[in-house]
Structure 1
Amino acid sequence: MCTGKCSRCIGLMLIPLAFICIAANLLLIFPNAEKKWVDHITLQVWLMGGIVGGGLFILCPGCAAVRAGGKGCCGTGCCGNRCRMLRSVFSSIFGGLGSLYCLVVSATALGDGPLCFVQPGAWEYPFQNLPNRTNYLANQTLWDICIEPKNIVMWHVVLFSILLASSGVELVLCGLQVVNAAIGVFCGDCRRKPKQEDGAL
Structure 2
Amino acid sequence: MCSGNCAKCLGITLIPLAIICVLCNILLFFPGGKVADKSEDITNEVFFLGGILGSGVLMIFPALVFLGLKNNDCCGCCGNESCGKRFAMFSSILFAAAGAAGATYSVIISCVAINHGPKCFTLANTTDTNYPFNEGDYLSNHTLWDVCTGPGDIVTWHLTLFCILLITGLVQIGLCAFQVINGLIGTICGDCCGCCGE
TM-score category of the 2 structures, normalised to the smaller one: 0.7 to 0.9
114, 127, 137: which one pairs with 1:135? 137
Question: Structure 1 residue 26: deviation in Å?
Answer: 0.3
| CA–CA separation in structure 1 for the residues paired with 2:118 and 2:96 | 32
Percent of aligned pairs with the same amino acid: 40
Letter matched to residue 13 of structure 2 = M
1:108 aligns with 2:112: yes
Q: Which residue of the partner structure matches residue 158 of structure 1?
A: 160
1:10/1:65 contact within 8 Å kept: yes
Distance 1:98 1:29, change over 3 A: same
**TM-score of the aligned structures, taking structure 1 as reference length:** 0.87
Q: Which residue of the partner structure matches residue 29 of structure 1?
A: 29
- Structure 2: runs of 5+ lacking an equivalent: none
Instruction: Give the superposed CA RMSD.
Output: 2.2
- Structure 1: runs of 5+ lacking an equivalent: 197-201
Distance 1:37 1:74, change over 3 A: farther
1:114-125 map, 5 Å: 114-121=118-125, 122-125=128-131
1:146 aligns with 2:144: no
Q: Which residue of the partner structure matches residue 9 of structure 1?
A: 9
Q: Which residue of the partner structure matches residue 87 of structure 1?
A: 91
3-state SS of paired residue (2:75)? coil
**TM-score of the aligned structures, taking structure 2 as reference length:** 0.88
1:78 aligns with 2:81: yes
1:73/1:83 contact within 8 Å kept: no
Q: Which residue of the partner structure matches residue 45 of structure 1?
A: 46
1:116/1:146 contact within 8 Å kept: yes
Question: Structure 1 residue 33: deviation in Å?
Answer: 3.2
| CA–CA separation in structure 2 for the residues paired with 1:2 and 1:10 | 13
Runs of 4+ displaced beyond 6 Å: 193-196
Question: Structure 1 residue 17: deviation in Å?
Answer: 0.7
